[in-house]
Amino acid sequence: MIYGVLRFSLDNFFKLLFRCEVSGTEHLPPVGGMIMAANHQSNWDPPLAATFATRPVSYMAKQELFEIPVFGPTIRSLHAFPVKRGAADRNAIKTALQILKQGNCLGLFPEGTRSRDGRIHKPEAGIALIAAKANVPVVPTALLGTDQMFSKSCLFPKLRVIYGEPLFFSGDPKDKEALQQFSQEIMDRIGEMIKLNGKA
């Protein structure tokens, strides 16, 4: 209920104020577990990518957020789940795999944290490991303009969301080099989509 109301409100918010353009929704599998992997430049990235997805999206969020009164229970009701920052959180990974095995959509940011300079950075191997263990497709997702939202230089920048064709990991889940290469392939595809849409 809350998820649907918020999604409807954000849809209008992004389209009316930021003239948001969305493409590639046909690449989002209608059923089955899937990972939506996006570049990360702003706190607006999770709601933007999820608002225009054709299915509800679950995100990892730092554990401290769940300890905030009202806000914590609210993001939990929006399918978010806690993760401990700074170390491999097995419980968070277990939850992520459970979400995927139940046939749901998981949103992840391969870089692990926000980019402070607007550039795409080296991804972590974690996304590839989760994709490999759950045996699900990864949909590369390019988000453009969120780093300028409400900035002094451009109060209401034009936003774009592009969902790319799904990628599949076909290597050995125990091969760390193969996992890192797949994570890099995801980021490279996102980078290509950003360049094709007018931003270096």
pLDDT tens digits, 117-126: 778 889 988 9
Q: Give the pair of three-digit tokens for residue 28.
A: 């989002």
Whether the pLDDT of residue 102 is over 60: the answer is: yes
What is the homologous superfamily of the domain 2-196 according to CATH? Glycerol-3-phosphate (1)-acyltransferase (3.40.1130.10)
Q: Strand pairing of 57-62 and 81-83?
A: parallel
127 contacts 35 by C-beta, under 8 angstroms? yes
pLDDT single digits (tens) 166-188: 999 998 889 999 999 999 999 99
pLDDT single digits (tens) 82-93: 988 766 788 999
Largest CA distance in the chain: 48
Beta strands in 29-72 (DSSP E): 34-38, 57-62
